[in-house]
């Protein structure tokens, strides 16, 4: 039985015996009725987290390489039915959803109106969800899941209204990584015309971070990419003053590449999802500089011990995916920077082709 006093974190919908937050919970209460600060969404689509979908795909691939997509669909239905949320028990990850606001509690602080087309920017891992159509419209292939059902948002949930002037797929692709440019901009404004290096500058969060750094007053921007093909794409996007090719896992190589491009950097932003980039990012950064780690592959101890071992007086930030106004800011960057938009549209086209 759930606690009935509303809590902005959604604590009141946790059905576990222990007092844990919704993300850590085994099972959430999915009742339709709203508490005064909640919002109910009519769900149209789930975007499963890539790591989660890959795990399901691996599990349901036969010895001959055939993927049993019916089994994948059944697995998603079973997870949501038993947990009251889409959280893959193996990967712990979820995804996001798109839908339309169906009902708004009188005390909701989210500023939504019935009929708004929205995307949730918090993880499905903490969002009460009921699937009502058995996922009849999904063939089980791919992370995009057409779905009819409902979800519940809490007082502290993060949600963004989808803009009318952009393709929803494009908006979602931007919102997925919108924490990085917002935090980059905030850090850059703390320095006077700093040199900013973005490791993985050709990717989604990387290209937005480069645009944000320039907009926030960077004196010089350096985009670091892993190979020449991506360097060419980033050069054509014209988002960085310098584009260099370096392997971010090789600390000395990365340090020297950034130095040759006008470094060390006052602000280094790590946007590549490969392990082992902590040492290089620290070495590429000037004394009293800041490293912002956005990669989920970051090792806390490698960063902490690495900086200590190198006697590096750098500030190291855990990239918080939430900064107020982050979605609107990232969409603004996309509209203002044709280079960003081309990179994102190219990526979406490649996904459709694939």
Query: Which residue in the set 2, 9, 144, 342 belongs to the binding site for a second copy (CB under 8 A)?
Result: 9
321 lines the binding site for a second copy (CB under 8 A): yes
Q: Which residues from 252-291 bind a second copy, rule CB under 8 A?
A: 252-253, 279, 283
The tokens describing 127, both together, are 């969002």
Q: Which stretch binds a second copy (CB under 8 A): 35-43, 74-82, 225-233, 245-253?
A: 245-253
Query: Which residue in the set 112, 130, 215, 312 belongs to the binding site for a second copy (CB under 8 A)?
Result: 312
156 lines the binding site for a second copy (CB under 8 A): yes
Residue whose pair of structure tokens reads 């948002």 in the numeric block: 153
Nearest residue to 196 via CA among 180, 178, 209, 179: 209
**Which x/- pattern, by CB under 8 A, does the window 167-206 give for a second copy?**
------------x---------------------------
The separation between CA 333 and the C-alpha centre of its own chain, rounded to angstroms, equals 16
Those residues whose C-beta lies under 8 Å from the C-beta of residue 290, and which sit 6 or more positions away, are 187, 190, 191, 266, 267, 268, 314, 315, 316, 317
**Shortest distance in whole angstroms from residue 23 CB to a second copy:** 5
**Closest CB to a second copy among 118 and 237?**
118
Query: Which residue in the set 308, 338, 346, 351 belongs to the binding site for a second copy (CB under 8 A)?
Result: 308
Query: Which residue in the set 200, 202, 319, 339 belongs to the binding site for a second copy (CB under 8 A)?
Result: 319
Query: Which residue in the set 2, 161, 215, 323 belongs to the binding site for a second copy (CB under 8 A)?
Result: 323
The tokens describing 9, both together, are 């974190």
**Closest CB to a second copy among 7 and 102?**
7
> How many Å apart are CA 81 and CA 30, to the nearest integer?
10
Those residues whose C-beta lies under 8 Å from the C-beta of residue 315, and which sit 6 or more positions away, are 288, 289, 290, 291
- The enclosing H or E element of 54 equals helix 50-59
Looking at residue 67, the DSSP 8-state letter turns out to be: B
**Shortest distance in whole angstroms from residue 151 CB to a second copy:** 14
Query: Which residue in the set 78, 133, 136, 300 belongs to the binding site for a second copy (CB under 8 A)?
Result: 300
Tell me how many degrees the CA angle 241-279-343 measures, rounded to the nearest 5: 35
> How many Å apart are CA 188 and CA 221, to the nearest integer?
11
Those residues whose C-beta lies under 8 Å from the C-beta of residue 300, and which sit 6 or more positions away, are none
Answer whether 264's CB lies under 8 Å from 291's CB: no
Query: Which residue in the set 71, 317, 328, 348 belongs to the binding site for a second copy (CB under 8 A)?
Result: 317
Total site size for a second copy, rule CB under 8 A? 52
Query: Which residue in the set 54, 74, 315, 347 belongs to the binding site for a second copy (CB under 8 A)?
Result: 315
Residues forming contacts to a second copy in the complex (CB under 8 A) are: 7, 9, 11, 19-24, 121-123, 125-126, 156-158, 179, 250-253, 279, 283, 293, 296, 298-301, 303-324
């Amino acid at each position: 039985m759930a606690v009935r006093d509303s809590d902005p974190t959604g604590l009141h919908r946790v059905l576990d015996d222990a007092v844990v937050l919704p993300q850590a919970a085994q099972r959430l209460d999915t009742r339709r009725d709203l508490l005064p600060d909640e919002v109910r969404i009519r769900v149209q689509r789930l975007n499963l987290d890539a790591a989660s979908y890959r795990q399901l795909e691996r599990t349901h691939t036969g010895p001959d390489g055939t993927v049993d997509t019916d089994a994948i669909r059944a697995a998603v239905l079973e997870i949501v039915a038993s947990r009251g949320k889409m959280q893959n028990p193996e990967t712990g990850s979820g995804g996001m959803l798109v839908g339309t606001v169906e009902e708004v509690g009188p005390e909701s602080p989210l500023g939504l109106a019935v009929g708004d087309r929205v995307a949730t920017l918090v993880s499905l891992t903490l969002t009460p969800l009921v699937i009502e159509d058995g996922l009849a419209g999904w063939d089980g292939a791919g992370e995009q899941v057409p779905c009819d059902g409902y979800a519940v948002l809490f007082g502290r949930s993060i949600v963004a209204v989808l803009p009318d002037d952009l393709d929803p797929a494009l908006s979602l692709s931007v919102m997925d990584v919108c924490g990085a440019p917002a935090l980059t901009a905030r850090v850059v404004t703390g320095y006077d015309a700093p040199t900013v290096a973005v490791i993985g500058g050709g990717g989604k969060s990387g290209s937005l971070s480069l645009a944000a750094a320039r907009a926030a007053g960077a004196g010089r921007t350096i985009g670091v990419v892993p190979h020449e093909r991506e360097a060419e794409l980033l050069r054509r996007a014209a988002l960085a003053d310098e584009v260099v090719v370096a392997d971010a896992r090789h600390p000395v190589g990365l340090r020297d590449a950034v130095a040759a491009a006008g470094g060390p950097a006052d602000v280094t932003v790590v946007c590549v999802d490969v392990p082992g980039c902590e040492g290089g990012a620290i070495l590429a950064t000037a004394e009293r500089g800041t490293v912002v780690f956005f990669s989920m592959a970051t090792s806390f101890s490698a960063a902490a011990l690495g900086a200590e071992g190198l006697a590096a007086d750098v500030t190291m930030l855990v990239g918080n995916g939430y900064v107020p106004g982050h979605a609107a800011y990232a969409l603004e960057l996309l509209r203002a920077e044709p280079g960003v938009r081309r990179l994102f549209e190219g990526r979406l086209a490649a996904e459709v082709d694939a």
